[in-house]
Amino acid sequence: MLDMGNMSDKEMDKLRVMLVSNGDIMVTLFDILRKLDSRVLMLLKLNELTRALDNALSTTHPPVRSSFFGTETG
């Protein structure tokens, strides 16, 4: 899961409004995830876990190292 602790109150409110106004967005998201190859889904989970651990442990690794996909963290 995403670390919601890094989101501002304004961002959280915006996310809540978007989810409520587009009720079927979660159904669509789950449908997409269901169709993903299990290995791709595992990579996504592993990537998020690695980023969350690096963030929680306050590691000093460069941001690129903390993500398989090269997205910056923090």
**Hey, where are the domains in the chain?**
8-57
Grouping H, G, I as helix, E, B as strand and the rest as coil, residue 42 is: helix
Per-residue pLDDT, 3: 52
Chunked mean pLDDT (size 10), the chain, 74 residues: 66 84 82 91 90 81 57 52
Per-residue pLDDT, 42: 93
Per-residue pLDDT, 1: 44
The set of residues, in sequence order, having a beta carbon less than 8 Å from that of 36 and lying 6+ positions away, is 44
Q: Which two tokens stand for residue 51?
A: 């980023």
pTM over 0.85: no
Per-residue pLDDT, 35: 92
Query: For residue 15, which phi and psi values (nearest 5 degrees)?
Result: -65, -45
Per-residue pLDDT, 59: 75
